[in-house]
Amino acid sequence: MSYTVNEQQQAIDDFLLYLAQEKRMSPHTVNNYQRDLKQFATYCGQLALPVWSLLKSSHIRQFISQLHRQGLASRSIQRSLSAMRSFYRYLIREGLADNNPAQAVQAPKGEKRLPSTLDVDQMSGLLDGTSQDTMIGCRDRAMMELFYSSGLRLAELAALDLRDVDFGSQLVHVLGKGNKQRIVPVGTQAIRALQSWLSQRDELGFFEQSALFLTKQGKRLGVRSIQKRLNYWGKKQGISDKVHPHRLRHAFASHMLEASGDLRAVQELLGHADISTTQIYTHVDFQHLAKVYDEAHPRAKKK
C-alpha cells in the first residue's frame, strides 16, 4: 500500500508521536530521529520519490554514502540508519510499506578509539616509582615491567607459569588468543625485576605452585587483582585516568613503533591475529624481531 506526497510528512509525525507516547523514548532520542528523518525526506524529494513504499535498499545506501562524503561521524550515520529502520518497521506495522529497505543496509564501522597511553617518561616514573621494599612491591614491579617490556595482554600475564620465562635467553613463552603461542623478548630491567620477585616468592614457601605471580596466600594472582594493583600504583604516581593493563600494552606498542618504525615487527610481538594469518606468506623471522626489540625498546638495554 502506498500514499500520497501530502501524507509523507504526516507519516513521520505519526511515527514520532508513536515513539514518544507508546515506546516512551526520551525527548532527546525523538528529536534526533526527527532531524534524521527530515534530512532523509529531503533526500527522497531530490530523487522525486515522494512515496515511502517506493524506496529500495539502493536508495538507502546512496543516502548513507552521501552522509559519509559530507563528513558526518560514523556514530551519527549509524543513528540515522537506525531511525530509518525503526521508521520502516512502523510503516509496515501500519500497512504503509511492504518491506524494510533499510534492514539490509550496513552502517559504516565506527572509528576505533586508540586507548590512552603513557609516554616514556611517565612509564619510567611509574616503574621506577614502584617500591621494591616489600614482597608485594617486588611482585607488582615485576608485573608492570613485564607488561611494558613484552606487550602482554592481561589474561596472558595472569596465566604465566614459572616455566614460561627463559631467563638465560630473556624470552617469555606466551599463550595468546585462540591458544596461539608466541615467544616474546623480555628486557633486561624486566628480567632483573622478575629475579627480585622470585627471590621473594621463594620465601613464601609455595614451591609446588606453578604460577609466576602469587598472592601472599600462595594462590595465582587473578586478573582483577592485577588491575587493582596497577591502578593503585598509577594513583600513587599521580597519573591521570586509570592505569590498566591495556594502557601498558599500548605504551609498549607506541614506544616500539616510534623508535623502530617497523609496524610488522611490532604487530608480531603483540601477537595480533591478522599477522598470524599472513605469517605463512610473509615470514618475520625471530632474529629480526629480537633486533628490532633490542634497538627500540626503552628498557631493553642494559644499564
Would residue 232 count as lying in a domain? yes
pLDDT at 72: 81
Are residue 81 and residue 181 in the same domain, yes or no?
Answer: no
Q: What is the pLDDT of residues 22-40, one digit of tens each?
A: 888 888 889 999 999 999 8
- Judge whether 60 lies within some domain: yes
Concerning whether 68 is annotated as a catalytic residue, the answer is no
More confident residue, 294 or 66: 66
> Residue 289 above 90 pLDDT?
no
Which candidate in 61, 192, 244, 272 is catalytic?
A: 272
Residues 134 and 272 placed together within one structural domain of the fold:
yes
> Residue 174: is its pLDDT beyond 60?
yes
Q: Is residue 165 a part of any domain in this protein?
A: yes
Model confidence band, residue 119 (pLDDT cutoffs 50, 70, 90): confident
Supply the pLDDT for residue 237: 86
Annotation marks residue 246 as catalytic: yes
Instruction: Give the range with max mean pLDDT: 104-108, 212-216, 278-282.
Output: 212-216
Mean pLDDT for the chain overall: 80
Higher local confidence (pLDDT), 187 or 286: 187
The pLDDT of 14-29, averaged and rounded, is 89
Asked if 262 and 217 sit in the same domain, the reply is yes
Given 61, 89, 192, 246, the catalytic residue: 246
Q: What percent of the chain has pLDDT over 90?
A: 27
Query: What is residue 294's predicted lDDT score, i.e. its pLDDT?
Result: 64
Question: What percent of the chain stands above pLDDT 70?
Answer: 79
Q: What is the pLDDT, as a whole number, of residue 276?
A: 38
The verdict on 142 and 77 lying in the same domain is no
Give the Cα separation of 293 and 199 in Å (integer): 27
Question: What average pLDDT does the segment 112-120 reach?
Answer: 66
Q: Is the pLDDT of residue 282 over 70?
A: no
Q: Given this model, what pLDDT does residue 54 score?
A: 80
Separation CA 84–CA 97 (nearest Å): 13
Q: 77 and 161: one domain?
A: no
pTM, rounded to two decimals: 0.55
Which structural domain range is residue 22 located in?
A: 5-93
Q: Please tell me which residue in 112, 163, 281, 303 is annotated as part of the active site.
A: 281
Asked if the structure places residue 301 within a domain, the reply is: no
Q: How many domains does the chain have?
A: 2
Same domain, 213 and 130: yes
Q: Given the residues 59, 85, 153, 255, select the one marked as catalytic.
A: 153
293 has pLDDT over 90: no
List, for residues 217-273, the tens digit of each pLDDT value.
889 999 999 999 999 998 888 887 788 888 888 777 777 766 665 556 666 666 655
- 38 C-beta neighbours (distance < 10 Å), count: 12
Q: For residue 281, indicate whether it is catalytic.
A: yes
pLDDT at residue 113, as a whole number: 56
Instruction: Please tell me which residue in 249, 250, 255, 297 is annotated as part of the active site.
Output: 249
Is 111 a member of any domain?
no
Of 57, 74, 93, the position where a domain reaches its end is: 93
* 136 plus 206 within the same structural domain: yes
Active site residue 236: no
Q: For residue 79, give the CATH number of its domain.
A: 1.10.150.130
113 inside domain = no
φ and ψ at 170, to 5 degrees?
Answer: 55, 55
Distance CA(73)–CA(62), nearest Å, equals: 16
Is 220 among the domain residues?
A: yes
Q: Please report whether residue 114 resides in a domain.
A: no
Residue 249 maps to which CATH number? 1.10.443.10
Better-predicted residue by pLDDT, 240 or 185: 185
CA distance 63 to 77: 10
Distance CA 197, CA 157 (A): 15
For the chain, give the secondary structure using H, E and C. Answer: CCCCHHHHHHHHHHHHHHHHHCCCCCHHHHHHHHHHHHHHHHHHHHCCCCCHHHCCHHHHHHHHHHHHHCCCCHHHHHHHHHHHHHHHHHHHHCCCCCCCCCCCCCCCCCCCCCCCCCCHHHHHHHHHCCCCCCHHHHHHHHHHHHHHHHCCCHHHHHCCEHHHEECCCCEEEEECHHHCEEEEECCHHHHHHHHHHHHHHHHHCCCCCCECCECCCCCECCHHHHHHHHHHHHHHCCCCCCCCHHHHHHHHHHHHHHHHCCHHHHHHHHCCHHHHHHCCCCCCCHHHHHHHHHHHCCCCCCC
Mark whether 75 and 39 lie in a shared domain. yes
168 and 292 share one domain: yes
Same domain, yes or no, for 29 and 148?
Answer: no
In this structure, the answer to whether residues 138 and 254 fall within a common structural domain is: yes
Same domain, 28 and 176: no
Catalytic residue list contains 219? no
According to the model, what pLDDT value does residue 120 have? 80
Q: Which residue out of 23, 56, 75, 177 is catalytically annotated? A: 177
Is 33 an active-site residue? no
pLDDT of residue 281: 24
